[in-house]
Amino acid sequence: MSEYTVHLVPGSPFARAVLATLEEKNTLYKVAPVVPGTLRAPPHLRLHPFGRVPVLEHGDFRLYETQAILRYLDRILPEPPLTPADARRAARMDQVLNINDWYLFTGAGAVIGFQRVVGPRLMGLTADENAIAAAVPKARVALDELAHLLGTQPYLAGASVTLADLMVAPQLDFLQKTPEWEALSAAHPNLRQWLARMQARPSLLATTWEKVAARAAAAGAAAPRAAAG
């Protein structure tokens, strides 16, 4: 089987979902770092015409859009399965995946996470408090609904980890790094406990920002030598 390569920016929660899925599948992969300021440059646009990450390469097959990548990996690497066999639980997984993309990320990650973590850490920007304040109500609705759907289950679609858990956990792990997390999650001990369970999984432990950044740095340092050889 051809090797998997994930083009990513270290710290991206969407890229982390892909890496965590590969880890859950116990599959070897390489990371190909993308410099944040080059996402709209022609070399990356040839991989992803919309200038985003992640991008998966598997042999001569290239794929972008995180949900598509996760579903592909779960089909081509069937063990352990990360999509429920039960139709209703599979539908719940699909619902949560879309909540993540349309409401959790747009309401929390793209604003609160960027303003509190990405902008200051990677770009030296000062947080826009007005933008954060406007995003908090949207983030609250998303977290409230995730907590409601989780209920007393161990995981978001039932008794077992699914693609939904692997998609949402990196987003909430990211949000946990912000001061807004305490107020947003205070009423949802079930969601906090779920996040702690996910953070303790080997797949999440192996794909922290720091560990992915170290792998990306090593890959970047090795690239010129490989080309020269």
pLDDT greater than 60 at residue 227: no
The helix (H) or strand (E) run that includes residue 148 is helix 129-150
**What does the alpha-carbon distance between residue 177 and residue 97 come to, in Å, rounded to a whole number?**
22
Burial grade of 192 (CB within 10 A; 0-12, 13-18, 19 or more): middle
User: Residue 225 pLDDT > 50, yes or no?
Assistant: no
What does each C-alpha distance from 77 to 20, 66, 82, 128, 215 come to in angstroms? 13, 16, 10, 42, 23
Least confident range of 5-9, 156-160, 216-220: 216-220
* Tokens describing residue 107: 């309401």
Mean pLDDT, the chain, integer: 94
φ, ψ of residue 155 in degrees (nearest 5): -135, 170
Mean pLDDT of 4-19: 97
The CATH class, in words, for 87-201 is mainly alpha
pLDDT band at 222 (very low <50, low <70, confident <90, very high): low
CA distance 206 to 199: 10
pLDDT reading at 229 higher than 70: no
Residue 16, both tokens? 């982390």
Beta bridge partners of 57: 5, 62
Neighbouring CB atoms inside 10 A of 56's CB total 25
Complete edge-to-edge strand list for the sheet that includes strand 55-58: 29-33, 4-8, 55-58, 61-64
What is the torsion angle, in degrees rounded to the nearest 10, for the CA atoms of residue 88, residue 91, residue 93 and residue 94? 180
Q: Which fold has domain 4-81+205-228?
A: Glutaredoxin (3.40.30)
CA distances from 102 to 6, 108, 139, 201 (A): 23, 10, 11, 26
Q: Where are the domains of the chain?
A: 4-81+205-228, 87-201
pLDDT band at 37 (very low <50, low <70, confident <90, very high): confident
**pLDDT reading at 223 higher than 80:** no
Indicate if 87-201 has the same CATH topology as 4-81+205-228. Answer: no
The pLDDT assigned to 121 comes to 85
Residues 51-72 have pLDDT tens digits of 999 999 999 999 999 999 999 9
